[in-house]
Amino acid sequence: MPGPQPASQPAAPGQPAPAGQPPERARFTSRAAVLAVVLCAIALSLAYPVREYIAQRRQIDQLQAQSAQTAATLARLQAEAGRLNDPAYIEQQARDRLHYCMPRQTCYVIIGGQPASHAKAGAAGGTPWYERLWSSVQQADRPAGR
Q: Residue 11 in contact with residue 17, Cβ under 8 Å?
A: yes
pTM comes to 0.42
CA distances from 12 to 8, 16, 24 (A): 12, 8, 10
| Residue 76, pLDDT score | 96
pLDDT averaged over the chain?
81
| Residue 59, pLDDT score | 97
Residue 138 and residue 132: Cα distance in Å, rounded? 10
Q: Is the pLDDT of residue 33 over 70?
A: yes
CA distances from 120 to 101, 110, 115, 116, 129 (A): 21, 15, 9, 6, 12
Phi, psi (degrees; rounded to nearest 5) at 37: -65, -40
Q: Residue 107 in contact with residue 99, Cβ under 8 Å?
A: yes
Least confident of 26-30, 69-73, 137-141: 26-30
Residue 56 and residue 72: Cα distance in Å, rounded? 24
- How is 60-96 classified by DSSP, letter by letter? HHHHHHHHHHHHHHHHHHHHHHHHHT-HHHHHHHHHH
| Residue 42, pLDDT score | 92
Mean pLDDT of 21-38: 81
Q: Which residue has the higher pLDDT, 12 or 96?
A: 96
- Residue count (the chain): 146
Torsion of CA 102, 104, 105, 109, to 10 degrees: 80
| Residue 65, pLDDT score | 97
Q: Is the pLDDT of residue 26 over 80?
A: no
| Residue 41, pLDDT score | 92
pLDDT, tens only, 75-129: 999 999 999 999 999 988 888 888 888 888 888 877 887 766 655 555 545 788 8
Q: Where along the chain do its domains lie?
A: 30-119
